[in-house]
Amino acid sequence: MRFTLNGRGVSFEGSGARRLLDVLREDLGATGTKEGCGEGECGACSVLIDGEVVDSCLVAVGQVEGRGITTVEGLADGGRLTALQQAFIEHGAAQCGICTPGMLLAAHVLLQEATRLDADAVREGLAGNLCRCTGYTKIIDAVLSCTK
């Protein structure tokens, strides 16, 4: 089967029942996508499938045939950080960093889709991604700084 990963075509041979998370991490070396709970509660494994935020631990790889996957590795453009990634660093939105990849992808979609974002909308948009370090304040600040 074939799909696109961060804009690049990849082919995968093996059981379509395997979790997308495992195929990304183990077969394709995209270890930026993390496993926090394995049951769709924490969002550490968030990826974008055709631009939508999905928990990759709940997706069988067979379901993504022909579709486009974006992981955290696909955000920066040729080594140049996006404004959002830069804001995460400057505002202290990443501490231990384990939730950061998923959080960035969820925030990325939020910034693309929303016409006007306020703190409440950011909270709602990131509610599927757990962070235990920051108390979310700095993450919300970072996302809002990109709306200006």
Partner 1 sequence: MPRRDGAAKVTGAARYTDDLAVPDAWYGKTVRSTVPKGRIRSITLDPAFDWRGGRVVVVTADDIPGENVVQLIRDDQPVLARQGGEIKHREEPILLLAAADRATLEEAASHIRIEYDAAQPIYDLDKATEVFSTVEISKGEVVEDLEDVEVVERTFRVGLQEQLYIEPQGAIAFPWREHGAGSREQGVTVIGSLQCPYYVHRALKRALKLTDEEAVVIQAETGGGFGGKEEYPSIVAIHAALLARKAGRPVRLIYDRHEDLAATTKRHPGVITHRTAVKKDGTLLSQDIEIVLDGGAYCTLTPVVLSRAAIHAAGAYACPNVRIRARAVATNTPPNGAFRGFGAPQSLFAAELMVEHVAERLGVSSVDLRRKWMLRLGDTTATGQKLTESVSAELVLDTALRAVPPIRPTAKPPIRHGRGLSLVFHGSGFTGSGEKKLQGTIAMEALADGTFRILTASTEIGQGTKTIFCQLAADTLGVGLERVSLAPQDTSIVPDSGPTVASRTAMIVGRLVQEAAEEIRERLTRERPPFTVEKSYIQPDSIHWDETTYRGDAYPVYAWACTIADVDVDMTTGEVRVTDLVTAVDCGKALHPVLAEGQIEGGCLQAVGWATIEEIKMKDGGYQNDRLATYLIPTALDAPRIRTILVENPYSRGPFGAKGIGELPMDGPAPAIIAAIHDATGVWLDEVPATPEKVLAACASR
Report in angstroms how near the CB of residue 133 gets to partner 1 at its nearest: 5
Question: Is residue 136 a contact point for partner 1 (CB under 8 A)?
Answer: yes
30 contributes a contact to partner 1 by CB under 8 A: yes
Q: Is 99 in the site for partner 1 (CB under 8 A)?
A: yes
Residue 42 Cβ, how far from partner 1 at the closest point, in Å?
Answer: 6
Which CB contacts under 8 angstroms, 24+ apart, belong to 135-143? 138/91, 138/92, 138/93, 139/88, 139/91, 139/93, 139/103, 139/107, 141/91, 141/93, 142/84, 142/87, 142/88, 142/90, 142/91, 142/93, 142/107, 143/84, 143/87, 143/93, 143/107, 143/110, 143/111, 143/117
Q: How far is the CB of 8 from partner 1 (least distance, A)?
A: 15
Q: Is 36 in the site for partner 1 (CB under 8 A)?
A: yes
Convert residues 107-126 into a mask of x (bound to partner 1 by CB under 8 A) and - (unbound): ------------x--xxx-x
